[in-house]
Structure 1
């Protein structure tokens, strides 16, 4: 081991660059795997946080439905009149709340407001994880504001908001604590008020449904689909699959890039060790001449490879941990959807697995140089 360490220090620059190559590959690999785990956990947490079992929406794209369920995307379709009554009458439904999501001009504030119309009394059931400063709306002319809306416009509980064509003033009763999601950008109001302002009486973009017995979900869904035309029913599990599919291509590409980088780093290790072997041919021949076995030579070269990849792998983990905030910020800008919460977290077992994987690949790369060194003929090597 001492000889292996000394040999690496003979060419510090070459060894350092080889380690950095391995480190960069391991950093990318660890970041991608850590992100995948955090993404799945965050998505599952958000779906559980909806407090609903499935959504009834107009027939259309599953990705639009996923966007509506998870962060209130505006869908330019409305459920037909009577759908809400049909859902409420279905056996096994304990909660069915219409939801109307739309954009609305606010000339007073010089902005476009995102309106989330809902039966406000059911908000604690739909969003059980929210923390509220103030109180939930209790009357038709009361509003609940998302964190960003309140922050950017300097609105506090008790302030009033006016909308064109609407008599009276809406009173802000509460502010939702920051969630880090699209929930922060919405203004929540009674759905009947939203329908009146948007001139869509009885209109809704979705119906959120909670069941008395989730075990009977498939039975309830089949019953609704057979009785009510023009609807699409999406469970929270299907939403997870839909969003995961959208993000899968980006994650797969990142993982492929990480593996390619690791292969390139491995080739760099093989090249560095082979160069070291060729430069030390006479030295290895002298070691053989004074009694070193082929196995001794093989072990020395293999230990050099193991040291390079191990130190490079550890450096890569440290780089990923130090730059996790920057990496996550970049991913959030390019991904089509990201759950709230921290995606990149340091997990010791995952870090250890990445380092061991890099060492395994590195040892395989070092096998040929080690074998080549062990086959050097001592007499011919000393002669030069």
Structure 2
């Protein structure tokens, strides 16, 4: 009988005789791999969703802020638009306000910029002027408040007691937004001048999104804007994405500790199982060694058994990981901050499988060393 067939016979017998222990060992490996895979999938989906949100919020390569909430002068924006390499400048007001007692985001834009902030209209139509008591409600806010086209809403700014009524002329899916955060329950789009008057800041906006010409380096445009408007805060869209990714990396690092704990449990579980198996098979090992089997033959038996555990746990862990990632995505989406897609990256799945197989084999090294160190004479003599 070949060494491989003998090793497989050993493995088959051990698993059949110790079904519960084998199952627990496989589950320990699967749990560690599942945690790793699910967190990786959720992380990739969250990063993709965050990048999409930033790109939606900032339909341009450079963003200009003032020092306060809404102190970017429109006169400065005219100067910025004349800079070389600048294709377009989109001014906007984005602040929190109130519709009745409900906190919302107020988004003030020009009529020509509505196409940049709305993906599609569910009902109604856009407003056509910079002024006018008109508003566009996003789908979530309309659903929450039961709004329809033609309804009146009372809007109050974040500060002061002043309020004004606006007629809902459209219900749309808002693209230029950060999903509902905290107490804010939706978006209300107003004509730019109406938003400025509501806030008591005519001629000023919260930010300006700058679109650069094709082939122009956004960094050069950022430098020119900083020279023209030294009191501003100028950021590249990639820098905003980088800040978001840094925060997410910190969270992912904290979650990684959970993965390490799961993998450590898998390693100790496999080591314990293989050590127990070696102890139970001392007599067989001694007989094989006395019959001429080499240390390598003995090592092969137990390393193959640990590999079977690792492969089984890896496959099961990938399945559990995908299911866990789907559950995690649903939980994250329920908070309304991100809506991560389920992205099954082959590299992640392969890494999870190799991690299970590799750690299982590594965890068997000590018990394998103990098995190959057995002295046949001493074992058989004690029998």
Which category describes the TM-score, using the shorter chain as reference length?
A: 0.7 to 0.9
Alpha-carbon distance between aligned partners in 2 of 1:358 and 1:208, rounded to the nearest angstrom = 47
Q: Which residue of 1 aligns with 2:311?
A: 310
Alpha-carbon distance between aligned partners in 1 of 2:175 and 2:240, rounded to the nearest angstrom = 23
Note closer, same or farther for the CA distance 1:161–1:208 as it changes in structure 2 (3 Å cut): same
Alpha-carbon distance between aligned partners in 1 of 2:24 and 2:164, rounded to the nearest angstrom = 70
Note closer, same or farther for the CA distance 1:45–1:182 as it changes in structure 2 (3 Å cut): closer
Alpha-carbon distance between aligned partners in 2 of 1:341 and 1:155, rounded to the nearest angstrom = 28
Q: Could you give the per-residue CA deviations for residues 15-61 of structure 1, whole angstroms, max 9, x where no partner exists?
A: 222222211111111122223322333333334444211110024xx
Q: Could you give the per-residue CA deviations for residues 311-348 of structure 1, whole angstroms, max 9, x where no partner exists?
A: 112221121222223223455689xx964332x43334
Q: Which residue of 2 aligns with 1:124?
A: 115
RMSD: 2.7
How far the C-alpha of 1:181 sits from its partner, in A, is 5.5
- The answer on whether the counterparts of 1:133 and 1:177 sit within 8 Å (CA) in structure 2 is no
Alpha-carbon distance between aligned partners in 1 of 2:217 and 2:37, rounded to the nearest angstrom = 41
Alpha-carbon distance between aligned partners in 2 of 1:275 and 1:204, rounded to the nearest angstrom = 71
Q: Is structure 2 residue 263 aligned with structure 1 residue 259?
A: no
- The answer on whether the counterparts of 2:37 and 2:322 sit within 8 Å (CA) in structure 1 is no
Alpha-carbon distance between aligned partners in 2 of 1:92 and 1:349, rounded to the nearest angstrom = 40
How far the C-alpha of 1:216 sits from its partner, in A, is 3.7
Gaps of 5+ in 1: 60-74
- The answer on whether the counterparts of 1:143 and 1:187 sit within 8 Å (CA) in structure 2 is yes
Note closer, same or farther for the CA distance 1:372–1:310 as it changes in structure 2 (3 Å cut): same
TM-score normalised by L of structure 1:
0.84
- The answer on whether the counterparts of 1:161 and 1:172 sit within 8 Å (CA) in structure 2 is no
Q: Which residue of 1 aligns with 2:78?
A: 85
Instruction: Single out whichever of 19-28 and 32-41 deviates more from structure 2.
Output: 32-41
Q: Which residue of 1 aligns with 2:31?
A: 24
How far the C-alpha of 1:154 sits from its partner, in A, is 1.2
Superposition map of 1:1-384 within 5 A: 1-49=8-56, 50-59=58-67, 76-80=69-73, 82-107=75-100, 110-126=101-117, 130-134=119-123, 135-139=125-129, 140-163=132-155, 169-176=166-173, 182=179, 185-330=186-331, 339-342=338-341, 344-384=342-382
- The answer on whether the counterparts of 2:65 and 2:207 sit within 8 Å (CA) in structure 1 is yes
Instruction: Single out whichever of 112-121 and 77-86 deviates more from structure 2.
Output: 77-86
Instruction: Single out whichever of 279-288 and 242-251 deviates more from structure 2.
Output: 279-288
- The answer on whether the counterparts of 2:148 and 2:168 sit within 8 Å (CA) in structure 1 is no
Alpha-carbon distance between aligned partners in 2 of 1:38 and 1:363, rounded to the nearest angstrom = 31
Aligned residues: 362
How far the C-alpha of 1:305 sits from its partner, in A, is 0.5
Alpha-carbon distance between aligned partners in 2 of 1:319 and 1:340, rounded to the nearest angstrom = 21
Alpha-carbon distance between aligned partners in 1 of 2:175 and 2:87, rounded to the nearest angstrom = 29
Gaps of 5+ in 2: 1-7, 157-161
Alpha-carbon distance between aligned partners in 1 of 2:106 and 2:234, rounded to the nearest angstrom = 23
Q: Counterpart of 1:340 in 2: which secondary structure?
A: coil
Instruction: Single out whichever of 150-159 and 42-51 deviates more from structure 2.
Output: 42-51
Note closer, same or farther for the CA distance 1:352–1:213 as it changes in structure 2 (3 Å cut): closer
Q: Counterpart of 2:315 in 1: which secondary structure?
A: helix
Note closer, same or farther for the CA distance 1:221–1:214 as it changes in structure 2 (3 Å cut): farther
Q: Could you give the per-residue CA deviations for residues 260-307 of structure 1, whole angstroms, max 9, x where no partner exists?
A: 421331122112111111122112223334454332221110111001
Note closer, same or farther for the CA distance 1:141–1:300 as it changes in structure 2 (3 Å cut): same
- The answer on whether the counterparts of 1:181 and 1:340 sit within 8 Å (CA) in structure 2 is no
How far the C-alpha of 1:227 sits from its partner, in A, is 1.9
Q: Counterpart of 1:295 in 2: which secondary structure?
A: helix
How far the C-alpha of 1:141 sits from its partner, in A, is 3.2
Alpha-carbon distance between aligned partners in 1 of 2:222 and 2:174, rounded to the nearest angstrom = 34
Instruction: Single out whichever of 317-326 and 198-207 deviates more from structure 2.
Output: 317-326
